[in-house]
Amino acid sequence: MDRVGGHPNFSGVWSVMNTANWDIEPHLARAALELRPGPVVPVPAKAIVALGAVGSVPAGMGVVEGGKIPYTAEALAKKLDNQKHYLERDPEVKCDLPGVPRANYMALPFQIVQSGKTFLMSYEYAGAVRDVLFTDPGAAPIDSWMGQSFGKWEGDTLVITVTGQNDNTWFDRAGNFHSADMKVVERWTLTSANTIRYEAQITDPATFTKPWKMSMNLYRRLGEDARLQQFKCVEFVEELMYGDLRKEPLK
């Protein structure tokens, strides 16, 4: 195992090969992220229809251990309501920063830059970035989109506690959400030269009846695939967010 500073070296470009960003719970493929009642079965929301099959949701085995997220009754109702209003509520639609853990299993890769003392994660999506602190920083001074990451090594596993995230981020495109009190404890373990086992325990009493865990594999990108690109999506959502404010709005 390649090591740096005495620890496993995670440096490289990584990504998942699952559909967790669509829905972290087990799911079959469905017609769209936002549906409306149809004469026979639910059909895609009007704004999604034009995308056809591209707007549909691929199936997935899910990454939530046990399958279901233990929502409180009130929180579950909100999650279902989020699905009904997906297009206007998912922060990814507006290119907002993704938060943790979602950043790690979006369709786009991220790069870890690790030395003997630094562990930096640079995400292709929206240029999000995390710097893992190895000296206890205390409580986060203010909530932020990507939160505060405090890491420590437990043998060859890097354990990162993420706090101080705001309540604007989601877990996926299926309306799964959390409060600003959420604590995420990530466990990063190299299981081979080119694979990472990633686990995240979620604790958020305001939203869930008990802590729960997600886990999945991350795969190293090799060769020509191992070069992080840029996905500055802000400019891609300007028509969505500001189109009605143009001097001459498009028809």
Partner 1 sequence: MKGIKLIACLSLGAAAAATAICVQAATPAAPAAYKAPLNAYGQPDLEGTWTNASLTTLERSKEFGARKALSDAEVKKIEGEDAKMVAEGNAPTDPKVKTTDLPHECGRGFSGAGCGYNVAWIDPGSTVMRVNGEPRSSFLTEPADGRLPPLKAGVVLPPMYAHRGENPENMTLAERCLTSFGYSAGPIMLPLLYNNNYEIAQSKDTVAIVVEMVHDVRLIHIGGKHRTDGERPWMGDSIGWYEGPTLVVETTNFPQDTALHGAWKDLKVTERFTRVGPHRVLYQFKAVDPSVWDQPIAGEYEFSASKGRIFEYACHEGNYALEGILSGARADEAAAAEKAKAAAANKTAAAAPVTGTKKQ
Contacts with partner 1 by CB under 8 A lie at 4-5, 9, 11, 95-97, 111-118, 120, 122, 126-129, 131, 133, 137, 141-142, 144-146, 168, 227-230, 232, 234-235, 238, 241-242, 245-247
Nearer CB in complex with partner 1: 118/191: 118
For residues 54 and 245, which CB has a smaller minimum distance to partner 1 in the complex? 245
CB of 79 to partner 1, least distance (A): 22
Residue of 57, 48, 46, 60 whose CA lies nearest to 17: 60
Taking the complex as a whole, the smallest distance from the CB of residue 215 to partner 1 amounts, in Å, to 26
Q: How far is the CB of 93 from partner 1 (least distance, A)?
A: 13
Q: Which residues pair with 220 in a beta bridge?
A: 14
Q: How far is the CB of 102 from partner 1 (least distance, A)?
A: 15
Q: Which of 172, 232, 212, 177 is nearest to 16 (CA)?
A: 172
Q: Which is nearer to partner 1, 30 or 134 (CB)?
A: 134
Identify which of residues 19 and 165 has a Cβ nearer to partner 1 in the complex: 165
